[in-house]
Structure 1
Amino acid sequence: MMKYELLRYEDYKDSGVEWIGKTPFQWEVTRNKDIFEARGSLSDSGTETLLTVSHITGVTRRTEKNVNMFMAETMKGYKLCEKGDLIINTMWAWMGALGTSNEKGICSPAYGVYKPRKNKDYFYRYFDYLYRTPKSIMEMTRNSKGIVSSRLRLYSKEFFQMKTSLPNHETQKTIAEYLDTKTAQIDRKIELLTQKTTKYGELKQSLINEIVTRGLDKTVEMKDSGIEWIGEVPEHWEVKRLKDYIEFSKGINASVYTQEYVKDEKNLGIYPVYSGQTENDGVMGLINSYEYSFSAPVIFVTTVGAKAMTTQLLNGAFSLSQNCALLKNKASVDTSYVNYFLIVLFKEERKNIPAHMQPSLRIEDLKKHILIAPPIDEQKAIADYLDTKTAQIDLIIETINTQIEKLNELRKTLINDVVTGKIKVYKEGETI
């Protein structure tokens, strides 16, 4: 395996271009029109390999992507591209949806396809790394045309006017090969760590499943719960419908609060609005609204129209989206225990939902579900035990995720510093 050394270049110059900044003295600062020209060739048959472009994977085969978008009946007239061409998704360049192609194929007529000019230093993998750096993407965005970000377009004229700091062909090749090796090593570490987080997540779910359905005492007599997916439960546990233990209410469209639910100024306040979204712990935003206020924890679960069936313990004052249900326990049940049971229930529910469908659950259906409930003291003991154990697992996962974040940041920094000349890469033993 080739070994590389890292140094700084001896001399730097001001490129005169904001996004480039200082650049190695030997590198040429030139407009993209002097490096590229539009290919412009169209497919006569539409049978070539169809390529697509995304901000995550760059240029890949359409068959390798999980895309549900409409496919045209024929791809005659699609743009031809050759190996090494730069392909830019005109509509999503501001997100970094671009890259160089590893093979010959065709792509959408809405894309920009650029081939290198003859007799110009050009190693395509170098440009794949360079143009997907954050500063380069910002420059693409700055040169895009449109009123709002979602409507920005990067047209050929503006792309050609952009400037690039260009090393010679051999340097481009050395940089690209070095980054291919180093990013593959970093990606492998990230993959292994991600697999570990998945395993710990599965361990957490398995632990909750086991304790919620079997209890802490493994010596007690068991009985058939009458529910196929649960199987046997401790003999002294009750099996009843959720509505026997829980009071249900539904959230309200957040915009309604300020119109109908604000009775006087005393009830006004800034409260988090919880929604059916899974991002940000389900917090949709903040709103001036009538408050829900509870002295004990309550549970909210997502219902109709939600992206996923989730459950979360809440306390204090908050507002609730119409996609959510609010569950308040009665005296005979512990809220934390019910929350853990719902985690198990939703996991089972998802097994019955086709992969292409959006998981959701109506309150009417939720009420009919069964809750297996030990005596209240045992419920609290189970909840306390799971709180401790899951917190330990969550801490491990958090630590691993921090490592993943650092590796991702290292990857970005390494690519940026090498392709922009902040760091010089040379092969071991090479004369510099």
Structure 2
Amino acid sequence: MSFPRYEEYKDSGVEWLGELPSHWEALPNKVAFRQVKAEVGDAWSDTQLLSLTLRGVVNRDIDSGDGKYPADFGNYQIVEPQDLVMCLFDMDETPRTVGLSGSRGMITSAYDVFRCNPDVDPAYVCYFYRHVDSHKGLRPFYTGLRKTVRTPTFLSIKMPIPPLGEQKSIASFLNRETSKIDALVAEQRRLIELLKEKRQAVISHAVTKGLDPNVRMKPSGIEWLGDVPENWQMKRLKHISPFISVGIVVNPSSYISENPDDLPFIYGGDIREGIIDWPNSRRISASDSALQEKTRLQTDDILVVRVGAPGVAAVVPKACEGGNCASVMLVRKGSFNSQWLCYVMNTPVVRFQVEVVEYGAAQKQFNIAHAVDFWAPVSGRSEQDRIASHLDKRIGELNQLQIEADRAITLLQERRTALISAA
């Protein structure tokens, strides 16, 4: 993306800035703004908590329980409207290192707060450093293992300074254009949420009501489930699968192989809804896996996350045949359609039952002793096949729409970055 060029340019004298319009100046940051640091002290209880995020400087609710907070915020620093907040450490890992505050509040003293001089527009400075942050342009100034830019170093770095009126025009243009892009991104994100809801509704209806809209229904006998097709049965999980167990329990880490050509060794973190990320999983040798025959994986087994995201299930693909598992629930394949049961496991039909028995504050989990008694509505095998085939097609279509929406968001965000860089 480019804009009409100015009539005349000059060498900025700063290698990483290159040429500037002839009427612009390359000046140290300390000429444009100064550091301010004032502790909030005893007034913290009456001061809005702020946080630096990808969305900029935003308000946080101390009482929400979302995140870890100190008992006392007295050493937090005051932020005034139009102050710049910078994170000058862990800069490669920090998604957004600069933000412009729109309100008064307090923020952790780990950040640096800067206030612009009267002839410098804060929004312009923020956009410039967002451009720098987009390609981590401050890397040459990092020091230490935490990739920190020391405050005196940062204040000595030069940035391009146009006349104040031009700064305001650039910032106003970017505010207007990025707002349009942000609105389009928000629309795509809303679409993704609607697609997720649609996906869940399609699956839930198919596995609880079937595909025939005219089928006779009967009470399931389970209040929260309601009616099911007349020829279906309600069965506990232990009466659907011939064998249910946990993965390797005793020192599973001792079986981990460093050979990338060995067999997949699946942990809960490798499982997403309907997908096992086996290419990036740990490995176990064929001989070690054979020693743990009870949990040795077979194609079309089902693995269910026990800890962290309890209840998330996926079917074991052929690529995992002969491998093994740990920290998961293994549901051995049987006379049922595994893909059908996986769909059932990933709906509220089973997830609700998981929530009832799960425990743990830091990491939710459940016991196999409870899981074997989970209820599921069970159709005949031929109907399971039809349901699985139908859902594979419909969910594939919805997933493709989500992929396209994700791609649109990526392109819009790239356009946003390019727009800021070009301006």
Provide TM-score, normalisation by structure 2.
0.83
- CA distance in 1 between counterparts of 2:272 and 2:23 reads 47
The alignment partner of 1:145 has SS state of coil
Indicate how the Cα distance of structure 1 residues 60 and 258 shifts in structure 2: closer, same or farther if over 3 A, else same: closer
Between stretches 89-98 and 352-361, larger displacement belongs to 352-361
CA distances 1:307-360 after superposition (whole Å, capped 9, x unpaired): 3531122212435553322222212x1101101111113443476579987543
1:428 aligns to what? none
Contact 1:126 1:173 in 2 (8 A): yes
Partner amino acid, structure 2, of 1:403: A
Partner amino acid, structure 2, of 1:394: N
Aligned CA-pair RMSD? 3.3
Partner amino acid, structure 2, of 1:361: F
2:308 aligns to what? 306
Contact 1:133 1:416 in 2 (8 A): yes
Partner amino acid, structure 2, of 1:340: Y
Contact 1:298 1:314 in 2 (8 A): yes
Alpha-carbon shift at residue 173 of structure 1 (Å):
0.6
The alignment partner of 1:170 has SS state of helix
CA distances 1:84-143 after superposition (whole Å, capped 9, x unpaired): 22222344544233222223333323321222345xx31011112221225566234443
The alignment partner of 1:239 has SS state of strand
Contact 1:58 1:100 in 2 (8 A): yes
CA distances 1:193-230 after superposition (whole Å, capped 9, x unpaired): 22122112211211111111111223333222111222
- CA distance in 1 between counterparts of 2:168 and 2:28 reads 20
Partner amino acid, structure 1, of 2:190: Q
- CA distance in 1 between counterparts of 2:412 and 2:346 reads 31
The alignment partner of 1:127 has SS state of helix
Contact 2:284 2:324 in 1 (8 A): no
1:145 paired residue among 143, 154, 165: 143
Indicate how the Cα distance of structure 1 residues 72 and 235 shifts in structure 2: closer, same or farther if over 3 A, else same: same
1:34 aligns to what? 31
Partner amino acid, structure 2, of 1:330: G
- CA distance in 1 between counterparts of 2:297 and 2:88 reads 51
Alpha-carbon shift at residue 383 of structure 1 (Å):
0.8
State how 1:222-241 maps to structure 2 within 5 Å.
Answer: 222-241=217-236
Structure in which a larger fraction of residues adopt strand: 1
- CA distance in 1 between counterparts of 2:383 and 2:159 reads 67
State how 1:190-229 maps to structure 2 within 5 Å.
Answer: 190-229=185-224
Partner amino acid, structure 1, of 2:105: G
Higher RCO (CA-CA < 8 Å; seq separation 6+): 1
Contact 1:78 1:106 in 2 (8 A): yes
Alpha-carbon shift at residue 272 of structure 1 (Å):
6.8
2:293 aligns to what? none
Contact 2:297 2:325 in 1 (8 A): no
Indicate how the Cα distance of structure 1 residues 80 and 382 shifts in structure 2: closer, same or farther if over 3 A, else same: closer
- CA distance in 2 between counterparts of 1:393 and 1:361 reads 30
- CA distance in 2 between counterparts of 1:140 and 1:124 reads 19
Indicate how the Cα distance of structure 1 residues 243 and 270 shifts in structure 2: closer, same or farther if over 3 A, else same: closer
Question: Aligned residues, how many?
Answer: 401
| 5+ residue gaps, structure 1 | 419-432
- CA distance in 2 between counterparts of 1:103 and 1:40 reads 16
Indicate how the Cα distance of structure 1 residues 192 and 255 shifts in structure 2: closer, same or farther if over 3 A, else same: same
1:322 aligns to what? 326
Contact 2:263 2:285 in 1 (8 A): no
Indicate how the Cα distance of structure 1 residues 203 and 234 shifts in structure 2: closer, same or farther if over 3 A, else same: same
- CA distance in 2 between counterparts of 1:276 and 1:144 reads 33
Between stretches 38-47 and 345-354, larger displacement belongs to 345-354
1:423 aligns to what? none
| 5+ residue gaps, structure 2 | 290-295
Indicate how the Cα distance of structure 1 residues 416 and 350 shifts in structure 2: closer, same or farther if over 3 A, else same: farther
1:56 aligns to what? 54
- CA distance in 1 between counterparts of 2:140 and 2:331 reads 48
Is 2:246 the partner of 1:250? yes
The alignment partner of 1:30 has SS state of strand
CA distances 1:160-210 after superposition (whole Å, capped 9, x unpaired): 132212222111111111111111111111112221221122112111111
The alignment partner of 2:407 has SS state of helix
1:424 aligns to what? none
Alpha-carbon shift at residue 395 of structure 1 (Å):
1.6
CA distances 1:30-56 after superposition (whole Å, capped 9, x unpaired): 221222222233445424633433241
The alignment partner of 2:303 has SS state of strand
1:24 aligns to what? 21
Alpha-carbon shift at residue 242 of structure 1 (Å):
0.8
Contact 2:276 2:315 in 1 (8 A): no
- CA distance in 1 between counterparts of 2:214 and 2:368 reads 36
CA distances 1:347-389 after superposition (whole Å, capped 9, x unpaired): 4347657998754333222211012211111111111111111
- CA distance in 2 between counterparts of 1:58 and 1:6 reads 26
Contact 2:303 2:331 in 1 (8 A): yes
Is 2:332 the partner of 1:334? no
- CA distance in 1 between counterparts of 2:389 and 2:141 reads 56
Is 2:397 the partner of 1:387? no
Indicate how the Cα distance of structure 1 residues 196 and 117 shifts in structure 2: closer, same or farther if over 3 A, else same: closer
1:269 aligns to what? 262
- CA distance in 2 between counterparts of 1:210 and 1:219 reads 14
Is 2:363 the partner of 1:365? no
Between stretches 33-42 and 367-376, larger displacement belongs to 33-42
Provide TM-score, normalisation by structure 1.
0.81
- CA distance in 2 between counterparts of 1:52 and 1:184 reads 22
Alpha-carbon shift at residue 274 of structure 1 (Å):
4.8
- CA distance in 1 between counterparts of 2:207 and 2:281 reads 34
Is 2:126 the partner of 1:110? no
Contact 2:220 2:228 in 1 (8 A): yes
Partner amino acid, structure 2, of 1:414: L
Contact 2:206 2:387 in 1 (8 A): yes
2:421 aligns to what? 416
- CA distance in 1 between counterparts of 2:333 and 2:256 reads 28
Indicate how the Cα distance of structure 1 residues 219 and 50 shifts in structure 2: closer, same or farther if over 3 A, else same: closer
